[in-house]
Structure 1
């Protein structure tokens, strides 16, 4: 059995990548993530936290927060005067995150394409390894929702899986993780971020098969 089958509950019990799905086994996911990041998960997500530009007092939204791993890294950066909110469609993942939540973290069940957050109320939106789980026809809506909830001048960071450049390794990674993670992030995100109204600031690669895009909602 591939890890995709172990971790995912696909809509309608299908393995068709374009239809999206949720991860519903938090303990298994945590184990797979530690292995998949080759023991460097904390290091890599700390780098994501730095790239996000979160500052003390910021209100931060993590779209597709999963077990809340990144929110817990961001919480001390936002500090006691800040607030970090995680949103994920899987109740099991939200429950896992709530049981480990620092005082300035909260979590809600919800989907990226209909964020339960008021307009222009967030300083920073982050999303890691979540967009590829969304149905293809919902991804543009989700990025527009990220734009909606950000304050003018607010910052966006999306990180996605980057398949190995080696064809054999890429095939192996896809076989283990499922069809959603065979996408190249440049193909996955191409057009979605600027079409939503963002100004792309930069993009790059991180160790162990991650790529990121940073953008900003224009101030005017």
Structure 2
């Protein structure tokens, strides 16, 4: 744990009130594998996303992992089975623990040097047939480019182009890797238009 991710992420308190969180987790729910029961929510924050999943399927057993202990203390006890203070580079679970792992707007908070290890850890803790679902800001977003804005800055310490992230997922062992649009635009046009119109995108891969 050379990088102090807790201190880094405390610099972005707005993540606790992100207005798209509920929509993001509804999108996650639509792509969960059939029969999913156990879900690891990486970067679970204060549990607003997990609350959406639980409302959509009360049979889910949801576990949270976050680098910020104070956020875990606020997890709703009727939603999360457990909240674990830790880093994605060393997930404290046995191999093949979860049916699905969700990570909403999380991986851009991980330094590039830790990305491959994080993806490898997620692959390890998934059951065979399990699925990773993650969203991240889209560097190819045409609106961001026209405004001359960068994803990087503050707690955003890496950025992930869809083609590169798909390759990284395959290198970690994931199959059936694909991407869809996410972010606020998806409220109006769905998730299957060209990625350049989306502020974020959803990447998924299966352990199979």
TM over 0.5: yes
Structure 1, unmatched stretches of 5+, are 1-10, 13-18
Q: Could you tell me whether the CA contact under 8 Å between 1:54 and 1:60 is conserved in 2?
A: no
| Length-normalised TM-score, structure 1 | 0.73
Superposition pairs of residues 33-182 of structure 1, within 5 angstroms: 33-34=18-19, 37=20, 41-53=21-33, 55=35, 58-80=37-59, 82-97=60-75, 100-163=76-139, 164-166=141-143, 167-171=145-149, 174=151, 178=154, 180=156
- Given that 2:42 and 2:106 are in contact with CA atoms closer than 8 Å, whether structure 1 keeps it comes out as yes
- Partner residue of 2:187? none
SS of the aligned residue for 2:204 comes to: strand
- Is the contact made by 1:20 and 1:133 (CA closer than 8 Å) also made in structure 2? no
Higher helix share: 1
Q: Indicate conservation of the 8 Å contact 1:61/1:126, yes or no.
A: yes
Cα offset for 1:53?
A: 3.4
Cα distance in 1, alignment partners of residues 80 and 46 from structure 2 = 16
TM-score, reference length from structure 2 = 0.77
Please list the CA deviations of residues 74-111 of structure 1 after superposition, one character each: whole Å capped at 9, or x if unmatched.
2234424x3100101111221222xx232453211011
Tell me: CA distance 1:113–1:54, structure 2 relative to 1, closer, same or farther (3 Å): farther
Instruction: Tell me the C-alpha RMSD between the 2 structures.
Output: 2.8
- Structure 2: where are the runs of 5+ without partners? 185-198
Greater Cα shift, 136-145 or 65-74: 65-74
C-alpha contact 1:21 1:133 (8 A) present in aligned 2: no
